[in-house]
Chain A
């Protein structure tokens, strides 16, 4: 069972519907016990960074999230969730969770696209992800697959965490992380078959981790 963090930031039900489509069991919850008992947590979000952080802080969910990451609960941040895992955002100069070094900046309005036209802001629509290092999150997804983006800010995490980049006037980080701690700027739940495959890859990783954790104490008793 996956848990989708419920923090009133919009798109939890879209994520739940996408998981339903792949027959992945999931629930939307803000209960610390349910989050801890899940195989992995999806941290979604649309909207403004400041309001989202205020809600997380007011409800104590910021501490719950930090605790889950410290205990190595698999986590997938999506869109706003991807952005507020970093230390701060230019959006209303907001201090964010700080679970990853780096910050979130706005697309420069002076940027132009390949044709020389000014880029649209927000970056809205389908775009490709160029792999920067292998990740099982993208396993089995064709390299030319496109994902659906809607955002005006993008992340600048530590370079060694960047999994994929995307071009919109500038080449920006569209996926980052390491095994069990991932974040994507696009919306996998709205990205058709490749997005659903990515969610499935996350779920399979969570199941493996859960199985390994369940067998570890048993083998310990035998020895």
Chain B
């Protein structure tokens, strides 16, 4: 039986680990390579890196970070942020990532999902979706809308319909991030997570809002997610990954044991 995955997410700006609240007010909080190595040793099942740098110079620094991380960890490693072409995907995969995560670029150009899957296999293509709750309407029957630009631009697209489309186009996984919950530490958006998990057969990663191991348990059970993304609660040392896994295991949620 598959274990539920615990995935720390590291936002990297100009080669430094950073964390913001509701996509604003980022502060630098450490060395990404060292942090990734520590999470690997503590039992993280996978690691995600997002590049939130804008400049070309920062991009080069970021690829160096990807190479540095790949040399230190022997678990799957996903990279996102600023990936808008098959060439961008190839660059991060060659630097040592197994998976790439595309978000705004996939919304603007859905064919990119299929092109990536054809070039590198579906297992390499994660589609990240940023989602906000809205009034139900003809364009958004589920009451959830896809947004881009860190939540500033509404795309008039229903989140559940988009999730199905991503699967059809060849996405291997979906990372569903609630903009409403992101950074609040008040729990994942469980209704959204469940609706996406029920709509597709590919694994769903819950993202945004983790404040405690109990929130993760909810996402992995009631939310139907295969994996839970976490950031603040481990970056600031409130919980270790081992503590989270102990909690989940004792609650009857199957997680990977920390092997010697």
Contacts and interface: CB of A to CB of B under 8 A. Distances in A.
A25 interface: no
Contact of A10 (B76, B121, B224, B259): B121
A17 B74 CA distance: 8
A168 B123 contact: no
Contacts of B5: 125-126
A122 B227 contact: no
B50 interface: no
A118 B204 CA distance: 13
B251 interface: no
Which residue among A14, A114, A192 has the maximum number of chain B CB atoms within 10 Å of its CB?
A: A192
Chain A CB count within 10 A is highest, among B1, B40, B71, B120, for B1
A190 B76 contact: yes
Contacts, number: 98
A168 to B, nearest CB: 6
Contacts of A18: 74
B130 interface: no
A125 B120 contact: no
Contact of A122 (B3, B74, B123): B123
A209 interface: no
B78 to A, nearest CB: 12
Nearest to B43: A192
A195 B256 CA distance: 13
A180 interface: no
B65 interface: no
Contact of A191 (B74, B94, B257): B74
Contacts of A109: 201
Contact of B1 (A114, A141, A145): A114
B96 interface: yes
Interface string B223-249: 010110000000000000000000000
8 contacts: A11-B98, A14-B70, A120-B2, A121-B202, A122-B123, A124-B226, A125-B2, A193-B259
Interface of B: 1-3, 5, 40, 45, 70-71, 74-76, 94, 96, 98, 120-124, 172-173, 201-203, 224, 226-227, 256-257, 259-260
Interface of A: 10-11, 13-14, 17-18, 20-21, 46-48, 109, 113-114, 117-118, 120-128, 141-142, 144-146, 148, 150, 167-168, 189-196
